[in-house]
Chains A and B, each alone.
Chain A
Amino acid sequence: MIEFSNVTKAYTNKDREVHALCGVDLVIEDGEFAFLVGHSGSGKSTIIKLITGELKPTEGSVHVNGYSLDRIRKREIPFLRRTIGVVYQDFRLIKNMTVYENVAFAMRVIGAREEEIAERVPYVLSLVGLEGKSDSKPDEISGGEQQRVAVARALVNNPSMIIADEPTGNLDQDLAVDIMSLLEEINNLGTTILVVTHAKDLVERFKKRVIVLDKGLVVSDGMEG
């Protein structure tokens, strides 16, 4: 669950204070699927960084999966991140690792045993439709497949929430729909999904909750269509 209460985030830029968020109130319940939309500079990235613990709010409180982000200690942040899977526009795969190793890597980080990894990784790769691609390197597969690897990596530790930051930004229309459908399937299994996107057509097509940000404020929040 994500809960923002009257959250303000200010940055200092050349002795000038810039407010990225101005008193945002927002709740995303467990199991929800929501789109976060807005122009560049509207505060979308700041919200993502606040959720993943990269930033702390200047004012207000942020609660994510049982952690209070305004009071969180540095050493707790890795454990918060293990409850969240993150998918980025640029995939962020490790180039010299195979598809299997890229996904297994996320399990190794949390200290999983090799037997668990050997059992879980092929299962997750089959969920995202990448059976038979285990031994390929990222530059040997398509952009859509690379994004599926990123989704598999986000999913492999069974997080309660996946945040996808412009996941279809580097993909053509068909692949973008594929990835969104995949995220929808994962949501149907009970995982909370928050997708940050510019793609209006996808937002209209999938008819989910849409949170619109503008100049650091939530200007609209409701179901599409």
Chain B
Amino acid sequence: MKVNNFGYLVKEGFRGIFSHGLPSFAAVCVTVACLLIVGSFSVLMYNVGIMVEELNKTNEILVYIDAELPDADARSVGTQINRIENVQNSVFVSREEALEAFVAEHQGDSAFSGVEATDLRHRYVVTLMDNTKMAETVVDIEEISGVANISAAYELAEGFSTIQSVVRIASIAVIVALLFVSLLIISNTVKMAMSDRKDEIGIMKMVGATNGFISFPYLVEGFVLGIFSAAVAFGLQWLLYDLLVARLAAVDTLQLFSFVPFTRLLTPMIITFTAAGLFVGIVGSLNSVRKFMDV
């Protein structure tokens, strides 16, 4: 393909879209539908990831301080805890604050009426950056002088990590499968459009067109249809997502599921839709055009 041809071939790509309006429209509809499903799974995966991460953050470690340690020393243990790599932050809770919380929790329970602050210990509420490394971090904290014992829910942390991994793998599997299905559908749609142009391609070959010259307009067509479909699907996804989130917010029993606003998903969604649209459009077109390239 020569440079002289570039503008002409791009123009031909656009001409192809409009002169074969019905197959182009069908290809856009199919791509939009597939991208919407792929997009829905992507936003679901993203939201579940955020939810699990938020839940995981509430899985804190309680570090109890030796009762014999003077108050000033107990407060300085926090500095050493914060130095540990996996610790996001640690909040000191004095035995008096702990008692207040205890009383508030067990109000009206006469069995705990005689509990004094001195019966409790100073403690730190420690939040980790990565809960999968909880066991190693607990070992590090135990080595700090003044730490009496630690209460950590390992099973819960592992459970959250497992849920996150399962959701991630399942969503990726569904997305890959759907992209593959979209590719097949687009390939067939473009193939149908190309059978229409079989004679035109035959004439091109007869007058000495190279495979690059013949396939370039179809590449442009696939690119344009892919980008256009991605833009339409992105707009629809945004609209449907906002509608769904508004509906869910109105249902009291579903308050547990807090979906993030779509604006927070803009960057990953733009990347997902553009990549998926281009992949399906270009690979689908090239896959179809290959069949017509035999001499």
A interface residues, Cβ below 8 angstroms from B = 52-54, 74-75, 77-82, 86, 92-94, 96, 105-106, 108-114, 153, 157
Contact = CB atoms under 8 A, between A and B. Distances in A.
Interface of B: 1-2, 4-5, 8, 19, 199-200, 202-211, 213, 295
Nearest to A105: B207
A110 B208 CA distance: 7
Contacts of B200: 94
A4 B48 CA distance: 72
Contacts of B208: 78-82, 106, 109-110, 157
Nearest to A154: B207
Contacts of A92: 199, 202-203, 206
A109 B209 contact: yes
B2 A74 contact: no
A178 B295 CA distance: 33
Contacts of B1: 111
Given A92-B203, A111-B4, A157-B208, 11 more contacts: A53-B295, A74-B295, A78-B205, A78-B208, A79-B208, A80-B208, A81-B205, A92-B199, A94-B199, A109-B207, A109-B208
A96 B206 contact: no
A77 B8 contact: no
Contacts of B205: 78, 81
B203 A111 contact: no
Top 8 closest A-B pairs, CB basis? A111-B2, A82-B208, A81-B208, A106-B207, A109-B209, A78-B208, A78-B210, A111-B4
A54 B295 CA distance: 6
A94 B203 contact: yes
15 contacts: A53-B295, A54-B295, A78-B210, A82-B207, A92-B199, A92-B203, A92-B206, A94-B199, A94-B203, A108-B5, A110-B208, A111-B2, A111-B4, A114-B4, A157-B207
B8 A52 contact: no
A65 B295 CA distance: 19
A53 B295 CA distance: 8
A111 B5 contact: yes
Nearest to A54: B295
A81 B206 contact: yes
B291 to A, nearest CB: 15
A113 to B, nearest CB: 5
A53 to B, nearest CB: 6
A111 to B, nearest CB: 3
Given A74-B295, A96-B19, A81 B2 contact: no
B199 to A, nearest CB: 7
Given A92-B199, A108-B8, A111-B4, A86 B206 contact: yes
A109 B204 contact: yes
A77 B5 CA distance: 19
A109 B9 CA distance: 10
Contacts of A157: 207-208
A78 B205 CA distance: 7
> In the complex, which of the residues B206, B208, B213, B295 has the most CB atoms of chain A within 10 Å of its own CB atom?
B208
> In the complex, which of the residues B1, B4, B206, B207 has the most CB atoms of chain A within 10 Å of its own CB atom?
B207
Contacts of A96: 19
Nearest to A85: B207
Contacts of B210: 75, 78
Nearest to A106: B207
Contacts of A82: 207-208
Contacts of B203: 92-94, 105
Contacts of B207: 81-82, 105-106, 109, 153, 157
